[in-house]
Structures are given as C-alpha cells and as structure tokens.
Structure 1
C-alpha cells in the first residue's frame, strides 16, 4: 500500500445520475466542471448525497466567494454584489473552468484520502478512538458488533470491505450523520450528540440539473441579506483540529460550516480495501439560533411568557408529508401564530426570483427537497432514512404570493380537520362494534393523508399567483370539492367496513361530571356525527 493514495480531485468516487438514467462515478474536479451534464447526485442514500452536495458547495464557496467568473478578485458584501456574482454564473449555464482549476490545484495535496499527515476529512490522532468495521461505516448497513441487519443490502466481502470510492462517500456521511454510540476516551468531556447534519431538518433547492442545484444552493449571503465572513473550508486550515469533543464558535462562513468535522475519523485499510475506521467526537457548537446554517427548518420555543423567542433546528417527522409542513417553512407565522425563522435557502430563492434582481422568472417552477434520518433511543442508532420533495411556482415565495401562502396554510389546516373528523369516526365505529379502539383513529388519519397526498401536491403545483380573481376562486373551489369528496369517500368506506355488529351498535356509559350518562353508539349515529363535523368544517371555510 502506498502511504499517499487516492486523490479525490482525480479519482472517480462521486456517484452522479446522467440524463439517460445511467449512474457513473466521477472525480470531484469533473463533477464541478461538467455539472450541467448530470441530472443529480446518485449516492447509495439520499443522506449521503446531502453530505456530498455540501462538500461541493464548500469548494464553490472557496472559489466564487472570492473571485468572479474570470478569476478576478471580487468582494461580496451586499445584495447587489451577491446577486451580480450569482447571475453571472447562472447565465453561463456551467461553472467557469479556470477559477475552479486554479483553486483545486492550489489545494491539491489536501485531497488525498490516504496521507500520513493530512488525510482528507480525517486526522491521525483519531486512531485512539472507538474502532468500527466497515459495516458500520456503510450507511446502508450501519451495523455494529451488537446490532446486525436481518436483511442486509450487502453480504460476504461486501459487508466487510469497501472500495476507496465507497469509503470516501461514506466518510462524508458518517461525519455528518453519525449516531451517539461511541464513548469518549477522555474524562469529563461534553456530549456532542449526533453529527451536525443529523440534528437538522435538511432542506435544499433542486434544479433541472446538478449545475442548477449547486448554484441555487450557493447562498452568497446569510439569510439573503448579510455578508459572510472569510470562507475557510477545513482543508485550508494550517493545522486541523484534532482534539476530542471541542466546542467551537458558530461558523461565520458556509465553507467552514459545510466542512465541519463533527467527528475525528481515520480509515483503516487492507490492500486496496477499507475494512474499518476509528472515531472520536469532534467539533460542535451551540445550536440555538445557529442561523449560519441555511439548509434547515426551525422550530420556535419560548422559555417563559414574555421571554424572547429562540430557534432550534427542527428534525423532520418521517410520518408527515412535506406539504404538511408548508406553514412552518414558507409562511411568516405558524398555525399557532408563533413567529417563524424561514430557512436561509428559502430566503435566498425568494431574493433570486424578485423581479428587480433579474435572476429567475416568476414562472419558474422550483423544487424543494427535504432529507433526514430517524434515530432510535437517544440517537443511539439510525432507524430510517427518508426524502421528500415539493414543487410550486417560485412566485409563491414573493409578496405577490403572500395571499396564496395564507390560503395554502388554511387548506392544510382544513385537511387536518378532515383527518381529525375521520379519526373520531373510526373511534366511534370501533366503540359501536365493541372492538379495540387502539390505533384505529390514527390509522384512519393516515389513510386520509395517503389519499389526499397526490391531489394536494398537484393542486399546489398548479397554483399561479398571477391568476386573476376568477381563476383563483375556481382553483380553490375545485380543490375544496375534491378534498371534501376524498374525506367523505373514506368515511363511507369506514362505515361499510365496520360490519353488522357496529350497525346494530350497543349502549355505552360515560361519566360527565358527577353523573353517569348512558347513550347508544352505532354506525348510523357515528356516520351522522361525521357528516355534521364535515359540514361545520365547510362552513368555517
């Protein structure tokens, strides 16, 4: 084995999807210079793609946060300079070659996957850390010595060995999404929790090809308004941090954030295969109001009444479709009327579609993608990985779309009310049949959300904020009729499936205050109650 081997700028290791649906591996240099030729990243998991995307963005910030398309120094310190820089890249339709080549040549030796002193994304000092096999490094397996997969995606040497290309991809993944199973080697050290990306409700914009996706997520201002500090990715540091569980200040530039070393890692290899790695806790920072992170959704909390609101990254709930979170991401206030901190990427896309900036047409259909992992008890292990997308006219984000955003928020609330009505119907039918009531309400709600999912997405996709009043009213009326029919159809199905026992029903007793009240519970009564609840929802509009 060579001491210095596998340079990520030259060796193929990043998986990309071509327009003809073929997947191939390319080098870091090639993926940037030919980004317009690829549809998307195509790693083994969507979470791995996010980790790779953020690495590519760190490189782009290192380049175009400093120089223009001609390689000349540029200062980005306000909206006009940021938009001018971004628009010049967008109009090219591809990343200019020379500035990228010059930058990568300057830092070429920091991209060796194996190096005695500066291995990429690793530190030799991690050797004292917890030892894992490659089955734990591989996020599709995520196996440890005491937790084996019943139906693994790999077998034989596929579980015990990884190619260098595979190991490079999973190295980025484990740094961002590692669980909390490792134990500290030092004493009295703070808990760092899961990897930084695992703490987030990740959200990104998605373009028609990889170039567009990268450029849309190249946010040259914090929250589309504030200048960043000097770009400083980890490979530009003279001496990488190697201490265990080090608390640092919140990064003031995206290159540093995107290359945050949440874990100290060191790959172990045998011949031309990676067989395991060593791990220590790495860098972490206070996540409260960590607005340097532009690719997460936020939750609002308040320690006590009249205290200032604070914001924390909000993990996605894999049981909830993306569109159900629309009010907490794309509106100014939530359904509970608490203020919302809009994700940086949403603010950035809002700025780009502003007609005064001449970047994106108001007719552009934008896609937002959310990605995340679900952890088990105390983030001790990963239980699931998920991804969802939502598409709509970009002008929904602007002032012209404000009225529509409020309408959409109201319609999502209306769907929630329909789901609650169906849940109560399912509970009443279970009581009438003398069956167990456990989970029947939740099951009915899930069935409704499954049925309403695609119709809602299609309606949202169809909305054009430039419609006149008649077109707006027609769209809203058609959607409301469709959603009402879906709710009624499921309600009728639940009643029909309840069976003859529920139709006959039975007498129930309920204590109200000090009195015990007897009442009849039967499918016809439950059906009438359901119809009444739906009518009340419709009257509220």
Structure 2
C-alpha cells in the first residue's frame, strides 16, 4: 500500500450538483475551475456541505488575502482595497485559476489523505486515542462503539468500510461536528465540547451557482466593518502538525485559520483500499463567549446583568423553529443580539452598491445533540430569502414592520394553542401540553410558506409607501389561515367537548365552564382584529 495516496487537489471527492440536477464527485481544483457550472455542494448532509464550504473558503482567503486577481502579490492593506478586490472577483464571474493552482500546488504534498508525516486534516501515528469503526466516522450513521442506530442507512460490509472519497468528506465533517463521546487519555484535561461548528447557529449565503456562493461568503472585512483580518494561516501552511490533546488556544485572528480549525485530532485507518475506521482525540478549542471572529453564526446576549457588558454566545438553531421567526436576530434588531458577520458583510456590499442582486438567500444547517452533546440526535437545515434592501438604511423602517408582523403572527399562533387547551379541558382530557403544542406546530406549518412568500415579495425601494397596505394583506392572510385551523379543531373535538364540563380552579376555588362553542367564540373574538389581539397581550404584560 502506498505511503502517499489520494491527493485531494486532483482526486474527485467533493460532491457537487450540476445545473441539470445530476451530482458528481470533483477534486478541489476541478471545483474551483468549474464553479460557475455547479449549482451547489451536494454531499450526504447539509452540515457536511457547510464544513467543506469552509475549507474552500479558507483556500480563497489564503490566496486573495495576499494576491489580486491577476496574481500580483498585494496583501489587503485597507478597507477600500478589500472591497475593490472583492468587487473585481465578483465581476469576473469565475475564479482566476492560474493563481489558485499555483498556490495550491505549492502545498500539494499537504493535501494527501494518506501521508507518512502530514496526512490532510490528520495527525500521523496518533497514539492512545479512542478507536472507532467507519460507522462512527460516517455522519449518516453516527454510531459509537457502544451504541448502534436502530434503523441504519447502511448495514453489513457497507457499514464497516468507506471509499477514500467518502472518507475525505466525513473527515472534514467529523472534525467540525463531532460529539463529546470520546474520552481523554488522561485525567484532568479540559473538555473541548462538540466540534466548533456544532456549537454554532450556522448561517451561510447562497448564490445561483457555486462561484457565487463561495464569493458571497468571502468576508474580506471583519463583521462588515473597517477592520482587516490578521495574516492568513490555514492549517496546511503550518510547519508542524499539532498533536496536543484538548489544547485550548486563542481564537484565530484570520479567517483561513478559523475556517480550518482542528477541533479533533484524527487519523484514518485503511485496509485494502478502504477506510475502515479512525483514531480520535479532542483537539483545539477556545471559549465560545464573544468569539466574534466567527462570521457564520447567529448570536445571543448571554449576560445575566442588564447593565453590564454583553456576552455574546452562538445561538444554536432549534429544529422546531422556522428561520423566519428569528428574522430580528438575523438583522440584529432583537434586544441583546448581534447581527451575524456574513449578513453585516453583505449589508456593506449592498449599501455601497458593490452588488446589484435584488434578493439574498440564506441557509442554515445544524446538528441537534443529545445528553450534553454526547451524541448526534438529528441533522436539519432551513433557509430564508428576502430583499437585499432590507439590510440597508433604506430598509430599516421595513425591518421594524416585518418584526412587528412576526410578533403578531406569533400571537395568532398562540391563540390556536389556547383554543386547543380549552377544547381539551372541555373534553375532560387531563393532558394539555401535548395537544396545545401540536396545534401550534400545525399553525406554524400552515403559515410557513405563505409568510416566506410575503417576505420575499417585499421591495423596500418600491414599497416604501405601501407598508400599511402590505402588512394588512399579511394580517388578513394569516388570520384566515389561523381561523380555518381553529374551525377544523373544533369540528374534530367530539361530542363531549360540545357538551362541556365544569372545572374547579384549585388555587382560587372558582368554577369555570368549558365548552367547544364557547372556546371557539372566544378564539374568533380574540383573533378578529389586530387591536383586540394586541390589547390582550398588553394586558398580560
């Protein structure tokens, strides 16, 4: 077996989707060469795609943070130069391959999946690590040595071995999203937590093709401001492969180092041209609090003191919550939150008229962990599209109106939950929370697509004087959806609910009568108009 084998620059391993919808594996160089012809990354999981996207972005930062698109050595020295270089790259519409190839081939020896000294994203000859089979390495299975999936997507020999191309994709993934199951080799070592991307509320911009997606996410100015990054230092440029277990570091000051962070120490095991497992240890980590170098996450203020300085933590995504419901977090308008760096960057580009596209499309991807991140429970993704003008000064007043409409929509949905609660009481069922939560989930499901269409239709440039009209249109549509659902719930509530029952409040001793007709009439009244609905919640406040 060859000591050096499977070079990622030349061997096909990254899954992409072509314009026609078919998928294929391509090498790193092929991907950059034909990026405008590929619609998107198309790996086994959306989280895997994000992990690989960040690897590709690290290459672009390492190149264009130092060289202009003509290949001249010119490190970015001012905000103007950064914006000018980004604009030149975007207008070109494809990547200048001569400089990219020259750079990558200079480090070709560092891109071998198997190498006696520095295999890619690995530590050669790692010792005293936790050994895993390929079933652990494969994120579609996510099995440990002690726990198997009940319904695995692979079985038998397919489960025990991976092709080199598959293993390369999952190597990038597990470094980014690994759980906390692996034990340290000695007592007293700190916990690194889940892989860095597993700690985030990941969000990326999505373009019409892979060139656009990569370029949109190429943030040349920190958080879209005027601060330049530090000197680029991707992992493959390091003279020495780091092998220290669970090593706390200072957060990198440059994107290529952060994008190639080695959250795990890994070493693939191969047998007869297949990867059969890996060795794994905890790797580099840093505190997630105020880790504002990270550009691809939502944030929340975790400070317990209202008057003290903010402490921003990554805001993980909730699989039960649609992304549009966090619109205020995306735009940095919610109290105590901060705009994701990628959104601030695109706002800068749009505000300075460096990009003419009318709408931006954003995608999230996340792993849901269980039991203190000890195992991966689920993988999910979501997306949102809205006018780019909403990120500029022109759209500021519209953003506030949209946030208000979302708040009102949440209150409409809450009334569906209250109706479900009252119907349950009328029928004599002791279980309240389950039906109430199920009703609210169904309400959000029905509102989901109509709200996305309404949001995407808003054009602050054309609709600045039509706020009241368009918001009224959404109110009527949302009210209709909610009231239709309420009517269905009442019709399905059964004879006992219509007959009703009397329930005594244990705290006050008062008796209350619950019937389906009374609950429905109260529901219709409370959702009849904005004023009545909002007045109800003002009273509660």
Give how far 1:142 is off: 0.9
Corresponding residue of 2:388: 394
Query: Closer, same or farther in 2 for the Cα pair 1:477/1:236, shift >3 Å?
Result: same
| Structure 2 residue 231 is the aligned partner of structure 1 residue 230 | yes
Distance 2:189 2:97 in 1: 45
Whether the aligned pair in 2 keeps the contact of 1:127 and 1:266 (CA below 8 Å) is no
User: 1:344-383 residue pairs with structure 2 within 5 A?
Assistant: 344-354=341-351, 357-361=352-356, 364-383=358-377
| Structure 2 residue 425 is the aligned partner of structure 1 residue 431 | yes
Equivalent of residue 341 in structure 1, options 338, 342, 346: 338
Give how far 1:303 is off: 2.7
Corresponding residue of 1:251: 252
Encode CA deviations 1:185-216: one digit per residue, 9 max, x unaligned: 02210011100010001000000000000000
Whether the aligned pair in 2 keeps the contact of 1:75 and 1:81 (CA below 8 Å) is no
Number of matched pairs: 532
Whether the aligned pair in 1 keeps the contact of 2:405 and 2:471 (CA below 8 Å) is no
Query: Closer, same or farther in 2 for the Cα pair 1:106/1:452, shift >3 Å?
Result: same
Question: Which secondary structure state, in structure 1, belongs to the residue aligned with residue 62 of structure 2?
Answer: helix
Corresponding residue of 1:129: 129
Question: Which secondary structure state, in structure 1, belongs to the residue aligned with residue 372 of structure 2?
Answer: helix
| Structure 2 residue 156 is the aligned partner of structure 1 residue 159 | no
Distance 2:425 2:148 in 1: 42
Distance 2:60 2:332 in 1: 30
Distance 2:480 2:247 in 1: 56
Give how far 1:156 is off: 2.2
Give how far 1:40 is off: 0.2
Corresponding residue of 1:193: 193
Corresponding residue of 1:413: 407
Whether the aligned pair in 1 keeps the contact of 2:504 and 2:512 (CA below 8 Å) is yes
Corresponding residue of 1:59: 59
Encode CA deviations 1:474-509: one digit per residue, 9 max, x unaligned: 322211110010111111111111112111101111
Question: Which secondary structure state, in structure 2, belongs to the residue aligned with residue 231 of structure 1?
Answer: coil
User: 1:439-518 residue pairs with structure 2 within 5 A?
Assistant: 439-468=434-463, 471-513=466-508, 516-518=509-511
Corresponding residue of 1:327: 328
Whether the aligned pair in 2 keeps the contact of 1:370 and 1:389 (CA below 8 Å) is yes
Give how far 1:450 is off: 0.5
Encode CA deviations 1:70-92: one digit per residue, 9 max, x unaligned: 11122323321111000000111
Distance 1:220 1:420 in 2: 42
Give how far 1:518 is off: 1.4
Question: Which secondary structure state, in structure 2, belongs to the residue aligned with residue 179 of structure 1?
Answer: coil
Unaligned runs of 5+ in 2: 535-541
Distance 2:422 2:79 in 1: 57
User: 1:36-47 residue pairs with structure 2 within 5 A?
Assistant: 36-47=36-47
Distance 1:152 1:117 in 2: 35
Give how far 1:331 is off: 3.5
Give how far 1:443 is off: 0.8
| Structure 2 residue 10 is the aligned partner of structure 1 residue 13 | no
Encode CA deviations 1:417-476: one digit per residue, 9 max, x unaligned: 011111111010111111232411101100100000000000001000012455333322
Question: Which secondary structure state, in structure 2, belongs to the residue aligned with residue 391 of structure 1?
Answer: strand
Give how far 1:294 is off: 0.2
Question: Which secondary structure state, in structure 2, belongs to the residue aligned with residue 124 of structure 1?
Answer: coil
| Structure 2 residue 48 is the aligned partner of structure 1 residue 48 | yes
Whether the aligned pair in 2 keeps the contact of 1:268 and 1:276 (CA below 8 Å) is yes
Give how far 1:127 is off: 3.4
Whether the aligned pair in 2 keeps the contact of 1:16 and 1:39 (CA below 8 Å) is yes
| Structure 2 residue 137 is the aligned partner of structure 1 residue 140 | no
Question: Which secondary structure state, in structure 1, belongs to the residue aligned with residue 505 of structure 2?
Answer: strand
Distance 1:346 1:539 in 2: 36
| Structure 2 residue 200 is the aligned partner of structure 1 residue 203 | no
Give how far 1:275 is off: 0.2
Corresponding residue of 2:537: none
Give how far 1:525 is off: 1.2
Whether the aligned pair in 1 keeps the contact of 2:411 and 2:533 (CA below 8 Å) is no
Query: Closer, same or farther in 2 for the Cα pair 1:468/1:51, shift >3 Å?
Result: closer
Distance 1:227 1:235 in 2: 22
**Which TM-score applies when normalising by structure 1?**
0.96
Query: Closer, same or farther in 2 for the Cα pair 1:450/1:377, shift >3 Å?
Result: same
Distance 1:129 1:451 in 2: 49
Give how far 1:7 is off: 0.5
Question: Which secondary structure state, in structure 2, belongs to the residue aligned with residue 120 of structure 1?
Answer: coil
Corresponding residue of 1:291: 292
Whether the aligned pair in 2 keeps the contact of 1:160 and 1:275 (CA below 8 Å) is yes
Whether the aligned pair in 2 keeps the contact of 1:79 and 1:224 (CA below 8 Å) is no
Give how far 1:134 is off: 0.3
Corresponding residue of 1:519: 512
Distance 1:147 1:511 in 2: 46
Query: Closer, same or farther in 2 for the Cα pair 1:467/1:345, shift >3 Å?
Result: same
| Structure 2 residue 527 is the aligned partner of structure 1 residue 534 | yes
Give how far 1:512 is off: 4.9
